[in-house]
Structure 1
Amino acid sequence: MEETSLRVPVEVTKVDNKYHFVFNKHINKLKKISLFESKDQEHKEIITSELDQFDVEIDNEIIHPLFFVEVESQQYIVGERTLPVEGMNNFRDMGGYETYDGRTVKWKLLYRSDHIHNASLKGLEYLKALNIKTIIDYRSEDERGKYPNKVIDVNIKTYCLDPDAHTAELAAQFTSDKANEDENLVKKIISQKEKGVLVNRYDIVMEQYKNFVNKEECKKAFSKMIKVIAEENSAPVDQHCRGGKDRTGYGCMLLLGLLGVKKEYIIYDYMLTHSNRVKRNAVKMEKYKKFTNDQVVLDYLYSLIDTQPEFIDASYDAIMSEHGSFENYAKDVLGITDEEISNLKQHYLE
Structure 2
Amino acid sequence: MFLKKTTLALLSMTTLSCIAMARAETPGTTSVQLEMVPRYTLTWPASLGTVDIFASLTPDASAMKPVQHHVTAQTAQVTAPFQGTHRVYFFIKPVSGKGGEWIANRVLPLEGVANFRDMGGYETADHHHVRWGEFYRSAAPSGLTPADYAFVDTLGIKSVTDLRTQAEQQKQPTHWQGASPAFFPSDKPTLPADMTDRSKLATLDEPRAKALMESFYTKMPSLYAPELKGIFARLLAHQTPTLTHCTAGKDRTGFASALILYALGVPEETILRDYAMSGDLLRAHLTPSFRAAMADHQNGGAMAASPSMRAMLNSDPDYLKAAFASIRQHYGSIDAYMAQEIGVGPQEVATLRRLYLD
Instruction: Give me the TM-score of the superposition, normalised by structure 2.
Output: 0.79
Could you tell which deviates more after superposition, 240-249 or 154-163? 154-163
Aligned-pair distance for 1:40? 4.0
CA shift, 1:339, in A, is 3.8
Equivalent in the alignment of 2:263? 258
CA distance in 2, matches of 1:107, 1:153: 22
Compute the displacement of 1:32 (Å). Answer: 4.1
Distance of 1:21 and 1:202 partners within structure 2: 38
Superimposed CA distance per residue, residues 88-112 of structure 1 (whole angstroms, 9 cap, x where no aligned partner): 1211111111111221111111111
Return the match for 2:193 from 160, 168, 182. 168
Higher relative contact order structure (alpha carbons within 8 Å, sequence separation ≥ 6): 2
CA distance in 1: counterparts of 2:196 and 2:236, whole angstroms: 31
1:64 maps onto 2:76 in alignment: no
What is the aligned partner in structure 1 of residue 251 from structure 2?
Answer: 246
Paired residues of 1:31 and 1:48 also in contact (CA < 8 A): yes
Tell me whether 1:80 sits opposite 2:105 in the alignment.
yes
The one of 154, 168, 177 aligned to 1:143:
168
Equivalent position of 2:68 in the other structure: 46
Contact 2:54 2:92 in 1 (8 A): yes
Aligned to 2:279: 274
Residue 11 of structure 1 is matched in structure 2 by 31
Distance in 1 separating the partners of 2:249 and 2:219 = 17
Question: Which residues of 2 match residues 276-315 of structure 1 at below 5 A?
Answer: 276-280=281-285, 291=299, 298-315=306-323
**Aligned residue number for residue 202 of structure 1:** 210
The whole-number CA distance in structure 1 between the counterparts of 2:305 and 2:272 is 28
Cα deviation digits, residues 309-333 of structure 1 (max 9, x gap): 2222222344356545433221123
Letter in 1 for 2:247: R
Task: Count how many residue pairs are aligned between Structure 1 and Structure 2.
Answer: 328
Determine helix, strand or coil for the equivalent of 1:201.
helix
The alignment status of 1:189 with 2:214, answered yes or no, reads no
SS at match of 1:261: coil
Name the structure 2 match of 1:218.
Answer: 224
How much identity, in percent, do the aligned residues show?
21
Change beyond 3 A, Cα 1:143–1:48? farther
Which of 38, 41, 47 does residue 20 from structure 1 map onto? 41
Separation in 1, partners of 2:54, 2:206: 55
CA contact (8 A) 1:258 1:326 kept: no
List runs of 5+ in structure 1 lacking aligned partners. Answer: 173-184
Superposition RMSD in Å? 3.4
Contact 2:156 2:241 in 1 (8 A): yes
Distance 1:308 1:29 in 2: 38
Residues 1:348 and 2:356 aligned together: yes
Question: Which residue does 1:33 correspond to in 2?
Answer: 53
SS of residue in 2 equivalent to 1:67: strand
Query: How far did residue 21 of structure 1 move?
Result: 2.6
Q: Which amino acid aligns with 2:34?
A: K
2:341 alignment partner, one of 333, 336, 339: 333
1:39 positional shift = 2.5
- On the 8 A contact 2:339/2:345 being kept in 1, the answer is yes
Distance in 2, Cα, partners of 1:269 & 1:171: 26
1:343, distance to aligned residue in structure 2 (A): 2.5
Cα 1:240–1:299, aligned 2, differ >3 Å: closer, same or farther?
same
Give the match's secondary structure for 2:217. Answer: helix
**Structure 2 match to 1:124:** 149
Taking structure 1 as the reference length, what is the TM-score of the superposition? Answer: 0.81
**How far is the alpha carbon of 1:342 from its aligned partner?**
2.7
Task: State the match for 2:234 in structure 1.
Answer: 228
Task: For residue 302 of structure 1, report the CA deviation from its aligned partner.
Answer: 1.1
Q: Provide Cα deviations, 1:232-286, integer angstroms capped at 9, x if missing partner.
A: 3x11111111111111000000111011112232122212212321234599599
Indicate the residue corresponding to 2:10 in structure 1.
none
- 2:129 corresponds, among 104, 107, 114, to 104
Return the alpha-carbon distance in structure 1 between the equivalents of residues 338 and 112 of structure 2.
Answer: 35
- Following TM superposition, by how much is the alpha carbon of 1:68 offset from its aligned partner in structure 2, in angstroms? 0.8
Secondary structure (helix, strand or coil) at the match of 1:277 reads helix
Flag the 1:222–1:79 CA change in 2: closer, same or farther, 3 A: same
Distance apart, 1:20 and its partner CA: 2.3
Query: What do the CA deviations read for 1:326-349 (whole angstroms, capped 9, x no partner)?
Result: 332211232334443332222211
Deviation of 1:163 (Å) = 6.4
The whole-number CA distance in structure 2 between the counterparts of 1:6 and 1:207 is: 27
**1:147-198 deviations in whole A, cap 9, x for unaligned?**
11121346411111356794534323xxxxxxxxxxxx2x3335x56xxx99
Counterpart residue identity of residue 163, structure 2:
Y
Q: CA deviation at 1:42?
A: 6.0
Partners of 1:35 and 1:46 within 8 A in 2: no
Q: Secondary structure at the match of 1:33?
A: strand
State the one-letter code of the partner of 2:157: I
Change (3 A) 1:339 1:142: same
Contact 1:12 1:22 in 2 (8 A): yes
